[in-house]
Amino acid sequence: MKQLNIGVLVGSLRKESFNKKTARALMANAPDHLNFEVIEIGDLAHYSEDAEANVPVAWAAFREKIKSKDAFLFVTPEYNRSVPSVLKNALDVASRPWGHNLWDGKPAGIVSVSIGAIGGFGANHHLRQSLVFLNVATMPQPEAYIGNAASLFDDEGHVINDHTKEILVNYMQAYTAWVEKHVL
Amino acid sequence: MKQLNIGVLVGSLRKESFNKKTARALMANAPDHLNFEVIEIGDLAHYSEDAEANVPVAWAAFREKIKSKDAFLFVTPEYNRSVPSVLKNALDVASRPWGHNLWDGKPAGIVSVSIGAIGGFGANHHLRQSLVFLNVATMPQPEAYIGNAASLFDDEGHVINDHTKEILVNYMQAYTAWVEKHVL
Amino acid sequence: MKQLNIGVLVGSLRKESFNKKTARALMANAPDHLNFEVIEIGDLAHYSEDAEANVPVAWAAFREKIKSKDAFLFVTPEYNRSVPSVLKNALDVASRPWGHNLWDGKPAGIVSVSIGAIGGFGANHHLRQSLVFLNVATMPQPEAYIGNAASLFDDEGHVINDHTKEILVNYMQAYTAWVEKHVL
Amino acid sequence: MKQLNIGVLVGSLRKESFNKKTARALMANAPDHLNFEVIEIGDLAHYSEDAEANVPVAWAAFREKIKSKDAFLFVTPEYNRSVPSVLKNALDVASRPWGHNLWDGKPAGIVSVSIGAIGGFGANHHLRQSLVFLNVATMPQPEAYIGNAASLFDDEGHVINDHTKEILVNYMQAYTAWVEKHVL
């Protein structure tokens, strides 16, 4: 089977982040021909057009990473009913300067994760709106709103909730089919 | 008249930013008892809860500024149909740690600015959704979507379009009344 | 105390609707000087400008009701991640023809109700976006997303969940203060 | 070439609607193997679950139409920064009762049309959010926000603006490719 290179972007920088744990669980439950790489986004300076005159090293490296991937998986918390700045910035940096949208035409999936009941709905859909502009085909169903995240993992970061595990397995199955439809 | 201290947050870092010019024009057309301060947000590191253990100096200074204001005026471009990371980050930094939402209960207005026709509608309303969570009473009307921004200013940054000037004057009049209703 | 006339609009037509039950519970937990009327919206034909030439009787009656109120309380389910047509239509009918926006300048609150965990977040915020245009000052906090609605009421429609009851009481307290600030 | 059956849903009921004219222009500029049918939605009663006990004739006929199509094209105005009730209702009627989502898995495109500059951005993206839930793969780019609609057509409803004509031709080309990817 053709190998697929998937860039994983996680919207939380916290070391013990539930989003990082969710991302790991998603990767662990995916078919073998998906090659995942979690792409670092915490070191990217806030986007400003002025900086294009002297592109920061971290921006250049990040743009190369994005260019090299076939598809993307976004795992994000919600900050104040929207996308965390660190993830929004990653979208922006790889979409500029004008005419150099590196997300263009690649498929993606979104999983939002929160410790509350709502599961990051606001972040999930704000991210979808940005991806429309970036010409990313974002998988509609299954939606994935992972709520009550503080009760889903053991001390080593493994999913202990069977229903959640099933959701993640089903998600990656649908995601794989979606990516294959849009890439191959 | 009671002086009102207004914090102005601009979502663009670019030196020649149309948003900065719009912010200046808004301030120049406001009543005398509004004391404006443009608050620097470009030097704030991306929010991460881990950093609360050793709060960055720029965060601490920014939080003090926000605490000291009576109301806010947001002037923002749209990046990829949403709020630029630098502005989203400012919201996040002054809303945390939990229980320390410094925007709480203060009124605000939003002006979005773009070089295209749509005038930053996507950024404007994503920002409104975050401000609901932050308990900011955001002025509903007049909405302000400033489009085609590249044709509105002369070389010194003054508004040359009469219709735009009228929009900005009316906006600040309504904004002042809105702030007074919620602050005094 | 000055009496306040509150129009209540419920986004579900179903006879045993959890939204109707929630609306009743909200009204039962409000201060005495709020006079509520649940305004019928199920009989309003879909808005079309052509019908203004011969205004339907139900539209005319509904517009009179809206005109007579000081403030509004919206209680709505979510249909397909947005506002049910019956409620969206009510907004539209009382906002037209151009220049006759009957919601203009009146305050409101939104409570969204669903049988799932997410509590109608999508409907809640889509409704907020429309209310910005209609110049309705919509209360930001407390937000009210009432999830798992099927387990909250007894056979006679009374709230049996103490936490929910507390949420509704607190909501009406904040709502009353919000309305008084914008009306009196 | 395999014929594709496309259901066209127009969010305006007005006889001289700019949306109807835009829909006609889109259909006129599409490849021959797309068979279009404009599906009537103005006669559908507001959705209520109670009515499922005795399904309205118009609902049943509409549901059959939706079931028979391969893909959809939505052309919609914006009412109060969101989707008109008549179109939102059509989505709801063909998505219920639970387990009978007739939009499921079919691709779609959205064109929003307004007489103002913003081109129905609010309606466009609210509709996208609903289509995520309905498992409709909605084309991301090209986005189509048709503004200033009152100046685009002659008395017979033909597009007189060359730039707009080009936008519509390009749109239908991309739409056809998008539909073929998701249907064939």
- Whether C82 and D79 lie within 8 Å, measured CB to CB: no
Model ipTM over 0.90: yes
Q: Are C128 and C91 in contact (CB under 8 A)?
A: no
With the C-alpha atoms ordered C51, C54, C56, C62, is the resulting torsion angle positive or negative?
Answer: positive
- D130 reaches C (C-beta below 8 A): yes
DSSP annotation of A79 = B
Angle at A61 between CA A55 and CA A66, to 5 degrees: 115
Euclidean distance between CA atoms B104 and B91, whole angstroms: 11
Q: Do you know the residue count of chain B?
A: 184
Question: Nearest CA of chain A to the CA of B144: how many Å?
Answer: 21
Q: Give tens-digit pLDDT for B71-92.
A: 999 999 999 999 999 999 999 9
Strands B4-10 and B71-76: parallel
Angstroms from B102 CA to nearest CA on chain C: 14
Instruction: Name chain A contacts of C145, Cβ cutoff 8 Å.
Output: 117-118
Cβ–Cβ contacts within 10 Å for residue C58, how many? Answer: 15
**Chain B residues in contact with D122 (beta carbon < 8 A):** 121, 125
Structure tokens at C54: 């011969």
* Tens-place pLDDT, residues C92-103: 999 999 999 999
Walk me through the domains of chain D, giving residue ranges and CATH numbers.
Answer: 7-183 (3.40.50.360)
Tokens 């009152």 locate to D150
Instruction: Say how many Å lie between the first and final Cα of chain C, rounded.
Output: 11
Q: Please give the backbone phi and psi of residue D42, each rounded to the nearest 5 degrees, phi first.
A: -75, -15
Inter-chain residue contact A138 with D140, CB threshold 8 Å: yes
Contacts of D138 in chain C (CB under 8 A): none
Q: Which residues of D109-139 are buried (b: 16+ CB within 10 A; e: fewer)?
A: bbbbbbbebbbbbbbbbbbbbbbbbbbbbbb
d(CA A82, CA A124): 8
Residues A27-85 have pLDDT tens digits of 999 999 999 999 999 999 999 999 999 999 999 999 999 999 999 999 999 999 999 99
B-interface mutation test, from C95, C124, C128, C180, most B Cβ less than 10 A away: C128
Facing C141 at nearest CB: one of B135, B140, B181: B135
Measured between beta carbons, the chain A residues lying within 8 angstroms of C125 are 81, 122
Return the DSSP state at C96: -
Residue contact D122–B119, C-beta within 8 A: no
Q: What is the CB-side half-sphere exposure of residue B120 using CA atoms within 13 A?
A: 29
Cα separation, A121 vs C78, in Å, equals: 13
From the list B129, B134, B143, the residue facing C125 with the nearest CB is: B129
pLDDT bucket at D1, cuts 50 / 70 / 90: confident
Inter-chain touch D46–C85, beta carbons under 8 Å: yes
CB-CB under 8 Å, D129 with C81: yes
- Integer distance in angstroms from the first to the last C-alpha of chain D? 11
A133/D143 Cβ within 8 A: yes
C142 touches chain A (CB under 8 A): no
Q: Helix axis angle, B85-93 relative to B121-133, nearest 10°?
A: 10
Neighbours of chain B (3+ CB pairs under 8 A): A, C, D
User: Where is D122: in which H helix or E strand?
Assistant: helix D121-133
Nearest beta carbon to residue A117 from set C81, C117, C122: C117
Q: What confidence tens digit (pLDDT) does each residue in A146-160 have? A: 999 999 999 999 999
Q: What's the first-to-final CA gap in chain A, in angstroms?
A: 11
pLDDT(A184) > 80 = no
- State the virtual CA torsion across D177, A180, A7, B48 in degrees, nearest 10: 80
Q: Which residues of A touch D109 (CB under 8 A)?
A: none
Nearest alpha-carbon partner for A173 in A137, A130, A144: A144
- A174 contacts chain D (CB < 8 A): no
pLDDT score of A2 more than 80:
yes
* DSSP output for B59-82: HHHHHHHHHT-SEEEEEE--BTTB
| B181 three-state secondary structure | helix
B130:A81 CB<8 A: yes
pLDDT at D80 over 90: yes
Cβ proximity of A82 and A123 under 8 Å: yes
Q: Which of these, D1, D4, D9, lies nearest to D109 by C-alpha position?
A: D9
pLDDT for res C1: 78
- Measured between CB atoms, does D125 come within 8 Å of chain A? yes
CB contact under 8 A, A47 and B86: yes
* Dihedral of alpha carbons D15, D18, D19, D21, sign: positive
Residues 37-96 of A with CB under 8 A from C: 81
| For residue D184, pLDDT beyond 90 | no
Question: pLDDT, tens digit, for every residue of B41-52?
Answer: 999 999 999 999
DSSP three-state, residue D87:
helix
Enter the tokens of residue D160: 């007189």
Where do we find the tokens 């109807």? D20
Say what the pLDDT of residue C34 is.
97
CA nearest B118: which of D114, A105, A124? D114
Angle, CA of A173, A110 and D70, to the nearest 5° = 65
Q: Which one, of D67, D83, D65, lies nearest residue D75 by Cα?
A: D83
Distance from CA of D52 to the nearest CA of A (A): 25
> What is the rounded end-to-end Cα distance, in angstroms, of chain B?
11
β B107-113/B137-138 pair status: parallel
Q: Among partner residues A14, A15, A126, which is closest to B82 by beta-carbon distance?
A: A126
Quick one: CA torsion of C87, C93, C94, C95, rounded to 10 degrees? 110
